Amino acid sequence: MKNTDQQAQHLALINAGLKKRRRAETRFRIAGRFATMIALAFMLVMFSAIISRGSGAFQRTYIEIPVYFDRSHFGDQSTQVLQNADYSGLLKSALRSAFPHIKSRSDKRQLYRLVSNISAFELRRIVLDKPEVIGRSITVSLPASDEVDLAAKSEMTTFGRLSETQISLVQRLQSNHQIRRDFNYHFFTSGDSREPELAGIAAALAGSFFTIMVCVALSFFLGVMAAIYLEEFAARNKLTEFIEVNINNLAAVPSIVFGLLGLAVFLNFFHLPRSASLVGGMVLALMSLPTIIIAGRASLKAVPNSIREAALGIGASKVQTVFFHTLPLALPGIFTGTIIAMARAMGETAPLLMIGMVAFIVDIPTTILDPATSLPVQVYLWADSPERAFEQKTAAAIMVLLAFLVVMNLTAVLLRKKFEIRW
């Protein structure tokens, strides 16, 4: 009877402990789900804000007006005369003809500001491409100014800094169906500009491409070789331990420190070109090396020793074992670590600011020695601009940058799943 009572007490204690543990597990699961939902909510808010602000930058507003290419503007119509004709005067004449009720000088100045500063060059392009338009009147789509562009994208609900005269003109154009929107391919083909409606990310994309190519070319080879030496060939002594500790510490060093290193060594000592993709890639390579080395060593360590022993057992040398057996099996993990390091490098701004890649770049760079900027730096520059239209450009550039980062991380995941071998 006594044993039965003791067993009942022990069973009651066990059940009470199980209930307590299940309650704790339930609370932990609820807390985890709640934290996940909070993180997803913040992410959703962030992406929604960026997309809502930046989607308008992928469209461009045009004003359609009839333009009479008066022969008196083009003289003998020679190539030199056509190139140097007064297209600004031709544009102003077309705008005055479209709005004959505009008489005062101040109203005319406001009328001229409805279209972008590039409109005169658009007329020049039309004449040079099709000289037969001279003497004829055709309807031309001219890019609108940034304030008109914002008003059109808001469906004429907000007019920003447009004056009352300009608002009435824009509303009249809207009612006459002379305002249209089209895909803004100039955003991907043009360089930076002081005018928001003309600014694009082509120069920043080219600069980022050259910078990342230099970074990959330097950091991948050096990082993999260093990982192979430290993991497969280096003796285990205080020197290698010191190197390993410093590599792990370098992976946590703020990126701006690498920018200061590049400024002191590459620019001030070696006198390499300032604001060039070559220097930017070298700085980012220094920053990426610790990550690649750590990922490479972890991937090499994950290869079973039986692979090495089997290769050595059939007569392979140490070098042959590493490069023909161990390294191929470790490459998926190395590639994954490299892509993650490149994704981090592509989103860096601070080290590039320190080496001068914050310059105003209009021309698209064609080599690694040309002055260049990167997409994160372009976002930084536009975010500091006072014009409202640059807010859309900033958000749109962030969307493009996030798209590249997502693609690179997805590539890393796919490579890992495709080539991963479970031992």
Task: Give Cα separations from 387 to 110, 283, 375, 383, 421 (angstroms).
Answer: 18, 32, 19, 10, 53
What's the number of domains the chain is made of?
3
The pLDDT, as a whole number, for residue 328 is 87
Going by pLDDT thresholds of 50, 70 and 90, the confidence category of residue 229 is very high
Q: Are residues 45 and 105 in the same domain?
A: no
Domain boundary among 174, 195, 216: 195
pLDDT in tens, 271-286: 888 889 999 999 999 9
The conformation of residue 273, written as its DSSP 8-state character, comes to P
Give, for 179, the enclosing helix (H) or strand (E).
strand 179-183
Q: Are residues 97 and 168 in the same domain?
A: yes
Domain boundary among 176, 195, 214: 195
pLDDT in tens, 35-51: 999 999 998 998 888 88
Going by pLDDT thresholds of 50, 70 and 90, the confidence category of residue 78 is confident
> Per-residue pLDDT for 228 more than 70?
yes
Percentage of residues in the chain with pLDDT exceeding 70? Answer: 97
pTM recorded for the entire structure = 0.84
Going by pLDDT thresholds of 50, 70 and 90, the confidence category of residue 422 is low
Q: Are residues 266 and 354 in the same domain?
A: yes
Q: What is the mean pLDDT of residues 12-31?
A: 82
> Per-residue pLDDT for 3 more than 80?
no
Query: What is the Cα–Cα distance from 391 to 375, expressed in whole angstroms?
Result: 15
Q: Are residues 232 and 139 in the same domain?
A: no
CATH of the domain at 214: 1.10.3720.10
Phi, psi (deg, nearest 5) at residue 180 = -135, 160
The pLDDT, as a whole number, for residue 275 is 86
Q: Are residues 239 and 359 in the same domain?
A: yes
Query: Strand 137-143 relative to strand 59-68: parallel, antiparallel, unpaired?
Result: antiparallel
Q: Are residues 211 and 149 in the same domain?
A: no
- Reduced to 3 states, what is the DSSP secondary structure of residue 137? strand
Q: Are residues 211 and 227 in the same domain?
A: yes
Query: What is the Cα–Cα distance from 407 to 184, expressed in whole angstroms?
Result: 23
Domain boundary among 180, 195, 210: 195
What residues make up the domain containing 49?
A: 2-55
Mean of pLDDT over the chain: 87
Q: Are residues 112 and 209 in the same domain?
A: no
Q: Which of 287, 391, 398, 380 is nearest to 56 (CA)?
A: 391
> Per-residue pLDDT for 419 more than 60?
yes
Q: Are residues 239 and 375 in the same domain?
A: yes
Angle, CA 415 vertex, CA 411 and CA 419 arms, to 5°:
175
Q: Are residues 415 and 353 in the same domain?
A: yes
Q: Where does residue 90 rank: exposed (0-12), middle (13-18), buried (19+ CB within 10 A)?
A: buried
Q: Are residues 35 and 131 in the same domain?
A: no
Q: Are residues 172 and 233 in the same domain?
A: no
